[in-house]
Amino acid sequence: MSDVYIIGLSMIRFNKYPDKDVRGMAHEVIYQSLEDAGLGKEALQAAFFANTFWGMFSNQHSIRGQVVLRSMGIGAIPVTNVENACAGASTALHLAYTGVRAGMYDVALAVGSEKITDPDKMKSLSAYATCMDVENFGDQLKMMEKANELFQVDVPEGQTPPGEGRSIFMDAYAMGARWHMNKFGSTQHQLATICAKNHFHGSLNPMAQYQIDMSVDDVMADKPIAYPLTRAMCAPVGDGAAAAIVCSESYLKKLTNARPVKIRASVHGSGADRDFDGEDIGERLVKQAYDMAGVGPSDISLAELHDATAYGELHQTEAMGFCPMGGGGPYAETGATKLGGKQPVNTSGGLECRGHPIGASGLAQIYELGLQLRGDAGNRQVEGARLGLAENGGGNIGVEEAAMCIHILEKV
């Protein structure tokens, strides 16, 4: 099997774009990634296109990738449409990686494009609920209510019922945070520390949707969403696209000006039925990723973790093995996950600040790691970056993600 390399990377700044659409944003990043790789579009042998909500907002329910590519003059090649909620783009990369590694293709494109903003704000927010088990949605709400009764955490007055004026995922993350507070004694202040760190990182990233530095006190004082989460701790609604081009080792040898990044591991898996104290999907999959890459958590120079809320990052630092279970809050308070620290996390600003257009987020993580490993991250460059890890979760069934991909990339 061939080693697989990323040779083209691109993204547009995530933001609210009333005048952009899924197709146009995808075209932008595909052309940019081809330019970054030094290739023409005729070099592409396969494409994997990630999107979740195009059908819901614009009635394009099928052949989405073919519509995007044919309208820019790319036809005949196999195009696979990928829908895996928030993990769609990383799944597209995993499939491109798999095809090249198996020898099916020498060059493949992974692209994710998503438009979520809409004049009807509630339509945008309600879209997120389709990333759960819709037919059994009532059971999910009952589970959240029961969990809130079990996790004895004092919740301030004024919290609105689940899903009112926000994505239902904020309630799912708040449930996880309250479980963590009950079991391990983590605090809202620790979540604010994580969030403030990400706002600092985001202030250094011209591709971030939010580029405003915030202090811990600023985060704590922001509008309450679902306790213990405040607005600053939650990823915003937004639009955007990102892409990556991967190739085989034999094809790489033919290129003269490539700036490759090696994919050391690519793992894809699904959640399982479990209780709150069972083995987490991230714990399970990262063991496979470390085994595939032949490394351990201490070897990772930096990571992009799926922080749809600050609790997501706290939990994933534990699941990835960067600190013991229950230690995510204190670990963040040491400064280890901030630029200049032992193991910087979400140098892009994370989903909280870079933004989270569902079908594009996983490849935006890869874009950030690629910049870092190429040494192109500017004033947020991690010194000596050699290995980067990206963890991207998607959807929710029960108490964990429905899907997840983990990638480990290496500087060449």
Could you write out the three-class secondary structure of 143-184?
HHHHHHHHCCCCCCCCCCCCCCCCCHHHHHHHHHHHHHHHHH
Which pLDDT does position 226 carry in this prediction?
Answer: 87
Q: E strand or H helix at 197, and its extent?
A: helix 188-203
As given in the structure block, the two tokens for residue 68 are 């995007």
User: Active-site residue among 180, 201, 306, 356?
Assistant: 356
Give the fold, CATH level 3, of 4-118+238-262.
Peroxisomal Thiolase; Chain A, domain 1 (3.40.47)
* CA neighbor of 272 nearest in space, from 370, 128, 410, 401: 401
- What's the gap between Cα 311 and its chain centre? 14
Which pLDDT does position 265 carry in this prediction?
Answer: 98
Give the helix ranges, DSSP H, for 307-409: 310-319, 328-333, 350-354, 361-374
Indicate the residue type of 143. Answer: M
Which pLDDT does position 145 carry in this prediction?
Answer: 67
CA–CA distances in Å: residue 361 to residues 61, 190, 254, 338, 408: 20, 25, 31, 21, 16
As given in the structure block, the two tokens for residue 61 are 């329910």
Helix pair angle (281-293, 310-319), 10° resolution: 50
Whether 86 is catalytic is yes
Phi, psi of 411 (to 5 degrees): -65, 140
Given a contact cutoff of 8 angstroms between Cβ atoms, the answer to whether 229 and 223 are in contact is: no
Q: E strand or H helix at 87, and its extent?
A: none
Given a contact cutoff of 8 angstroms between Cβ atoms, the answer to whether 221 and 235 are in contact is: no
Using CA atoms, how far apart are residues 360 and 235, in angstroms rounded to an integer? 14
pTM of the model: 0.94
- Bridge partners for 46 per DSSP: 108
Indicate the residue type of 72. Answer: M
* CA neighbor of 357 nearest in space, from 72, 6, 25, 10: 25
CA–CA distances in Å: residue 79 to residues 89, 99, 360: 14, 12, 17
Q: Domain 121-237+265-411: give its CATH architecture.
A: 3-Layer(aba) Sandwich (3.40)
Whether 195 is catalytic is no
As given in the structure block, the two tokens for residue 107 are 């060059």
Which pLDDT does position 149 carry in this prediction?
Answer: 65
User: Active-site residue among 86, 323, 353, 405?
Assistant: 86
Per the rule left: phi > 0, alpha: psi between -120 and 50, beta: everything else, 191 is alpha
- What's the gap between Cα 43 and its chain centre? 28
Q: Which residues 6+ apart lie within 8 Å of 100 measured at CB?
A: 2, 4, 106, 107, 108, 246, 247, 248
Domain extent listing, the chain: 4-118+238-262, 121-237+265-411
Which pLDDT does position 130 carry in this prediction?
Answer: 87
Using CA atoms, how far apart are residues 29 and 8, in angstroms rounded to an integer? 10
Calculate Rg over the CA atoms of the chain: 20
Which pLDDT does position 153 carry in this prediction?
Answer: 60
Using CA atoms, how far apart are residues 116 and 125, in angstroms rounded to an integer? 9
Using CA atoms, how far apart are residues 270 and 235, in angstroms rounded to an integer? 23
Which pLDDT does position 158 carry in this prediction?
Answer: 57
Domains 4-118+238-262 and 121-237+265-411 share a fold: yes
Mapped onto helix, strand or coil, the DSSP state of residue 332 is: helix
Over the chain (412 residues), the average pLDDT of each successive run of 10 is 95 97 98 98 98 95 98 97 97 98 98 94 83 80 68 60 67 89 95 98 98 97 92 95 98 96 98 87 98 98 97 97 97 98 98 97 98 98 98 91 97 97
